[in-house]
């Protein structure tokens, strides 16, 4: 039997996936599991998107252009204009989800062995795409004590060497919910400029910013227009993760030309998804406001509730729909598994993502979990109660 690639062995197994069989088993035992582990919004897809899908009157579902339909890219420019991001349709390449945008950004910009710097905790799949491209991720630590704010510039500079080709940020952040301030974004801009790096900026959660703080996009930063590669997706903002429509956006023509070669190789992004995404942009303001208001309430409910549980601490996330909280436990990997395999309170339990999977530094985030607030408020309230009960009886509880 031939041997598989080292890459296959190096690919991290998702911490959530590892626990999924335990969750399934709990359900089979009749236990209700509150899913605080996933980023799948439970809110409806815009009616405009669903209607567009149902009204497709094509007889052939054929290839679309490799960079996506021009009509979608044109409509996206009007969407971005609302955020003071000025683009032409040529700046936008439609991808198969934000995932493909990250992969193609890495394949196009990074040589095998090249390095990028990412503040951690970070979205676990960045690592997977870096491995796919043969690139290396170095992380700078952010901490729950400092609310996951940007590490000092010197921490980045310590890691920069001749192999360093870029910085990757996720803003607002998955998993922490942190939103970079104008000052922090300017620091990133200066670093990028000083060392002539790429700035890969994943901004798929821009609709979900809950404080009065301004959203500073990488595209707002002056003087590094040719360094910025924006990663985007319609998945979260229109609750249509399944259609797999994202975008890679850059003013750098050389990068676009390289990305297009990877796009042409895979022929085209999904046709039906593009039609749905284009129509979803027409969703009325009410849709986005209702969605937003719902998350505002859930966020308050979750963060207030978490901080009331003895020994639990969550900073107040400014955006996205996640928070990273610290728990009074020895090891959140063990605790999260125990919740699913050994615990229930009145037939109910919680499924959380151990934060270790979002760190590359061994031991980091050992007592932290990522909690997504993609459940109704009543369910969140109940889940918090069940979590409190779990912490009361968990054998590995630490005294805090």
- Identify which of residues 65 and 147 has a Cβ nearer to a second copy in the complex: 65
- Whether 204 and 98 have beta carbons less than 8 Å apart is answered as yes
Looking at 24, 40, 81, 395, which residue binds a second copy (CB under 8 A)?
A: 40
Applying the rule CB under 8 A, the residues between 167 and 226 that interact with a second copy are 196-198, 226
Whether 271 and 116 have beta carbons less than 8 Å apart is answered as no
Contact between residue 321 and residue 377 where contact means Cβ atoms under 8 Å apart: no
The structure tokens listed for 295 are: 């998350």
Residue ranges in 63-82 that form contacts with a second copy under rule CB under 8 A: 63-64
> Which DSSP category does 40 fall into?
-
Query: Minimum Å distance from CB 251 to a second copy?
Result: 10
Stretch that binds a second copy, among 170-178, 235-243, 381-389, 391-399 (CB under 8 A): 235-243
Q: Which of 26, 34, 49, 201 binds a second copy (CB under 8 A)?
A: 49
- Rule CB under 8 A: choose which of 31, 53, 141, 281 binds a second copy: 53
CB closer to a second copy out of 71 and 111: 111
Segment contacting a second copy (CB under 8 A): 27-35, 36-44, 73-81, 289-297?
Answer: 36-44
Closest alpha carbon to 102 in 205, 251, 232, 7: 232
Q: Which is nearer to a second copy, 294 or 330 (CB)?
A: 294
How far is residue 300's CA from residue 140's CA, in Å, rounded to a whole number?
29
Question: Using CB atoms within 10 A of its CB, is residue 165 exposed (0-12), middle (13-18) or buried (19+)?
Answer: buried
At closest approach, how far in Å is the CB of 323 from a second copy?
21
Distance linking the first and last C-alpha atoms of the chain: 52
Q: In angstroms, what is the minimal distance from the CB of 165 to a second copy?
A: 6
Binding residue (CB under 8 A) for a second copy from 270, 305, 315, 319: 270
Is 349 a residue that touches a second copy (CB under 8 A)? no
In angstroms and rounded to an integer, the radius of gyration of the C-alpha atoms of the chain is 21
> Which two tokens mark 313?
């601490």
Residues 80-119 that bind a second copy (CB under 8 A): 96-97, 99-100, 103, 107-112, 114
The reply on whether position 356 binds a second copy by CB under 8 A is no
Return the number of the residue (59 or 399) whose C-beta is nearest a second copy: 59
Q: Which of residues 125-164 bind a second copy (CB under 8 A)?
A: 125, 128-129, 132, 134
> What b/e readout covers 29-53, taking b as 16+ CB neighbours within 10 angstroms?
eebbbbbbbebebeeebbebbeebb
- Interatomic CA distance for residues 16 and 353, integer angstroms: 6
Size (the chain), residues:
400
CA neighbor of 232 nearest in space, from 205, 266, 256, 251: 205
Q: Which of 8, 212, 362, 363 binds a second copy (CB under 8 A)?
A: 8
Cβ atoms within 10 Å, residue 57: 4
Q: How far is the CB of 250 from a second copy (least distance, A)?
A: 11
* Nearest distance in Å: CB 103, a second copy: 7
Phi and psi torsions of 135, nearest 5°: -95, 165
Applying CB under 8 A, among 117, 241, 309, 372 the residue interacting with a second copy is 241
HSE of 326, CA atoms in CB hemisphere, 13 A: 17
């Amino acid at each position: 039997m031939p041997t598989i690639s080292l890459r296959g062995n190096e690919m991290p197994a998702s911490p959530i996936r590892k626990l999924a069989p335990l969750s399934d088993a709990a359900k089979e035992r009749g236990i209700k599991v509150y899913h605080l582990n996933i980023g799948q919004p439970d809110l409806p897809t815009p009616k405009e998107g669903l209607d567009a899908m149902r009204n497709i009157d094509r007889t052939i579902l054929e290839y679309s252009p490799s960079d996506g339909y021009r009509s979608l890219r044109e409509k996206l420019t009007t969407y971005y204009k609302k955020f003071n991001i000025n683009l032409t349709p040529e700046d936008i390449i439609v991808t198969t989800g934000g995932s493909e945008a990250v992969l193609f950004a890495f394949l196009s910009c990074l040589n095998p062995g090249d390095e990028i710097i990412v503040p951690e905790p970070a979205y676990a799949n960045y690592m997977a795409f870096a491995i796919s491209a043969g690139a290396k991720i170095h992380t700078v630590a952010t901490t729950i004590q400092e609310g996951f704010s940007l590490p000092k510039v010197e921490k980045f500079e310590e890691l920069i060497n001749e192999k360093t080709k870029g910085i990757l940020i996720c803003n607002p952040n998955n998993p922490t919910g942190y939103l970079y301030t104008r000052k922090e974004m300017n620091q990133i801009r200066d670093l990028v400029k000083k060392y002539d790096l790429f700035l890969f900026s994943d901004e798929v959660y821009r609709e979900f910013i809950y404080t009065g703080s301004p959203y500073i996009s990488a595209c707002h930063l002056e003087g590094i227009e040719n360094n910025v590669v924006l990663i985007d997706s319609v998945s979260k903002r229109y609750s249509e993760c399944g259609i797999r429509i994202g975008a890679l956006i850059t003013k750098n023509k050389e990068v676009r030309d390289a990305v297009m070669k990877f796009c042409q190789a895979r022929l085209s992004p999904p046709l039906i998804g593009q039609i749905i995404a284009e129509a979803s942009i027409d969703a009325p303001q009410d849709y986005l406001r209702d969605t937003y208001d719902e998350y505002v309430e859930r966020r308050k409910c979750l963060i207030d509730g978490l901080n009331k549980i003895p020994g639990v601490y969550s900073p107040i996330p400014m955006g996205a729909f996640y928070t990273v909280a610290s728990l009074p436990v020895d090891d959140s990997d063990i605790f999260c598994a125990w919740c699913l395999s050994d615990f229930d309170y009145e037939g109910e339990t919680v499924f959380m993502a151990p934060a270790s999977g979002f760190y590359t530094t061994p031991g980091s985030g050992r007592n932290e979990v990522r909690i997504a607030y993609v459940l109704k408020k009543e369910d969140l309230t109940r889940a918090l109660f069940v979590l409190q009960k779990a912490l009361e009886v968990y054998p590995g509880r630490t005294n805090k």
